[in-house]
Amino acid sequence: MTMSQNLTERYAASLMNTFGPPKLVLTRGEGAYVWDADGRRYLDLLGGIAVNALGHAHPALVAAVTEQLSTLGHVSNFFATVPQVALAERLLDLLEVGPGGGKVFFTNSGSEANEAALKLTRRTGRTHLVAAEGSFHGRTMGALALTSKAAYREPFEPLPGQVTFVPYGDADALAAAVTDETAAVVLEPVQGEAGVIIAPEGYLARAREITTAHGALLWFDEVQSGMGRTGEWMAHTGSGVTPDLVTLAKGLAGGIPVGACIGVGAAGELLQPGNHGTTFGGNPVAAAAALAVIETIEKDGLLENARLVGARLAEGLRHPHVTAIRQRGLLIGLDLDAEVAPQVAAAARERGFIINDCAPGRIRLAPPLVLTEAQADEVVAAWPGILEAGYAAGQPGGPS
């Protein structure tokens, strides 16, 4: 029995089966590569699902966490810390509103950031929300109420809230759903879980017009698409739209748990003392990690790298079996002409590449922002063979 097989058996015996059997047992990483328990190397094109912005074991992130933990690891939210305040100011700068133009509530994850935002919307005195089909906002009960996928929702219904789902990208449907009783419209500028579905040109601006007309909040969930993933700090940056709420997590601290619910303008004043809380959210270690991620992205030009390498990678993945490619920076979705994405992902792992089958016929890539052109070329060179093996395995009677 290999080390990986041994650990997989122990995993099954001692962890709840919420994720199914683990695909690999990973023991270490460096840059865009990870190694499994048997010493085999993989190029990580998933990045912890858009989390490992700086890759694995980045010296700047390791140093920031080590230094902060050696100085002040945790205090309660009865007290402020230097990294917490500095990070809130930096995030407001990245949203181009600056300190005083909004307020930040720190959490530990994207789901918690969305839970905080959902609670915040109740402070408008309204309860109706509008979300999009294909959306994913998390699996806690409030976030799940805004998530459209039936397989995630139905086992736990009834869910809190009064939520109307509309087709993503359809501004007329959105306009028809929003009323003067609507507290907020929540949209992902790029739907990651759905397979990298990008908002049509002008859609976010129309959403701004519609929500403003009805006095509703406009909430952008940038948990997956934010923090440089799309080659801009936020996926909505180029839209010219200023939302009322933005939620962040995943790449924010490069793998150290942290999330943020940001209220812009008056929305930043809706939560008041006693309305919400957290024990660990925005603790100094997580905040220091996030500051290191932001500084490294700026210093190393990783926004531009995401744009250039992402475009190179997407272009190289064209193939007769690939019917559509959607790419923003290093967030890439591929549609296949058959529902063999799980088999294709397995074939990729066999060849030393980690990719994600986010739907039966869709592949998602969200590699570290430090991915190099040479590393992108590695998977491009292997791609035809990966598809050939995946399609063969997906045929009736094909290899398992």
Q: Is 180 annotated as a binding residue?
A: no
Q: Is 221 annotated as a binding residue?
A: yes
- Report helix, strand or coil for 353: strand
Q: Is 191 annotated as a binding residue?
A: no
Rounded CA separation 64/262 (Å): 24
For the range 152-155, what are the long-range contacts, defined as Cβ-Cβ under 8 Å and sequence gap of 24 or more? Answer: none
Rounded CA separation 269/265 (Å): 8
Catalytic residue among 36, 105, 220, 250: 250
Catalytic residue among 105, 106, 220, 221: 221
Q: Which residues contact 379 (CB under 8 A, 6 or more apart)?
A: 43, 45, 313, 316, 317, 348, 353
Give the HSE-up count for residue 104: Cα atoms under 13 Å, Cβ half-sphere: 26
Catalytic residue among 136, 220, 244, 353: 136
DSSP-based helix, strand, coil % in the chain, nearest 5: 40, 20, 40
Q: Is 223 annotated as a binding residue?
A: yes
Could you confirm whether 103 is annotated as catalytic? no
Of 273, 373, 269, 263, the closest CA to residue 314 belongs to 373
Q: Is 222 annotated as a binding residue?
A: yes
Rounded CA separation 184/270 (Å): 13
Could you confirm whether 19 is annotated as catalytic? no
Q: Is 357 annotated as a binding residue?
A: no
Could you confirm whether 250 is annotated as catalytic? yes
Q: Which residues contact 191 (CB under 8 A, 6 or more apart)?
A: 132, 134, 135, 136, 168, 197
Instruction: Give me the sign of the Cα torsion angle 292, 298, 303, 309.
Output: negative
Residue 392 belongs to what H/E stretch? Answer: helix 373-394
List active site positions: 136, 221, 250
Binding residues for N(2)-acetyl-L-ornithine: 139, 278
Q: Which residues are annotated as a binding site for pyridoxal 5'-phosphate?
A: 136, 221-224, 279
Annotated binding site: 136, 139, 221-224, 278-279
